[in-house]
Amino acid sequence: MWKEIVFMVVVSLLTVVFIDTSIPNSQFGFREMITIVYGSPKGGGEESPLPSEEINKNIVYTPSTETQCQSGVCKLVLYSGIMNYFNGSEYVPVNTRTSISSDPKYDYDMTHAPYSAYFESNINNGEAIKFVKDGYEFVYDLSGGKMQWVEQVGNPTKTKSIGAILSSTAIPIDNSVYYNNAFAYTNLSYLLDNEMFKENFILSSLPIDYTYLYLEYTGEMRFSSNLSMYVDGVFSFFNKQTNLNFDNQLVGFIIGDMPRQAKPINMFRICPARLPP
């Protein structure tokens, strides 16, 4: 269901501005938010929208906008999220549909987005899923994974195994990859969106024995060297709970003595910080 709001505004130096705000209900939130048509048509006359046959020609993209000009009239579409990605030479529209992989190790992939995802046909193969973003990557290995009840957090002896991962063949459908019956009572799916890669464990029924705290699935992640330094390497302190006390009226962050490589990521962690009222 789309909610459409149409209204007119006047902007300095522009003859006509037409704004069409469209807010769709979708699984991932809003997409197209505002469409603006502006300019002064060459040869005079009233402003009119771009001809439909010209819509897909000579469009200039940025991560969250599309702009096209024709005969003195320009159309600008603003999105609330990432709709286009940089393919190495220019921004082009994101396409999250899975396809046959060009990587010989994998059977399916999705590489036309700000990140890339790769899938083997059998989820029980080692390193069956790979995720790549900006030169960083991790590989998800479920081949030794199992489904188990947990009785005490942090104590591996206080668990009860339900079963190991099963052989399951990948089923790519549009922007998803499904591994049905990957575990007992469980279908596994990977959903590919413009800005995220989502893993879902879907229970068909709850295993018996409810005396435990929670149900968990185990597996391994393997990181590229430029990422592992932040997970279990020299900068692994980023991968831990902080002991900062935000109850103080004044909190200072001093990062001058930090290693040079650690300063950028620390700045990103500090800048969004908000003190309680």
Structural domain contains residue 249: yes
Residues 104, 191, single domain; the answer is yes
Q: Are residues 220 and 234 in the same domain?
A: no
pLDDT at residue number 260: 76
* 119 shares a domain with 148: yes
Report how far residue 141's alpha carbon sits from residue 130's, in angstroms, rounded to the nearest whole number: 9
Residue 93 lies in a domain: no
| The pLDDT of residue 14 | 34
The string of pLDDT tens digits covering residues 82-126 is 889 998 899 999 999 999 999 999 999 999 999 999 999 999 888
Is residue 275 included in any domain, yes or no? no
Q: Is residue 202 included in any domain, yes or no? A: yes
Residue 43's pLDDT is what? Answer: 52
| Distance in angstroms between the alpha carbons of the first and the last residue of the chain | 38
Same domain, 242 and 217: no
Q: Is 137 exposed, middle or buried (0-12, 13-18, 19+ CB in 10 A)?
A: middle
- Under a CB-based contact definition with an 8 Å cutoff, are residues 150 and 159 in contact? yes
245 and 209, same domain (yes or no):
no
What is the rounded average pLDDT for all residues in the chain? Answer: 75
pTM (predicted TM-score): 0.69
On whether both 48 and 73 belong to a single domain, the answer is yes
Q: What pLDDT is stored for residue 122 in this prediction? A: 94
pLDDT at 55 over 70: no
Residue 107 forms part of a structural domain: yes
Q: Do 82 and 133 sit in the same domain of this protein? A: no
Q: How many structural domains comprise the chain?
A: 3
Q: In the chain, pLDDT over 90 holds for what percent of residues?
A: 23
Q: pLDDT digits over 200-233, tens only?
A: 888 888 777 667 888 888 888 888 877 777 777 7
239, burial (CB in 10 Å: exposed 0-12, middle 13-18, buried 19+) = exposed
- Give me the domain span that covers residue 154: 99-226
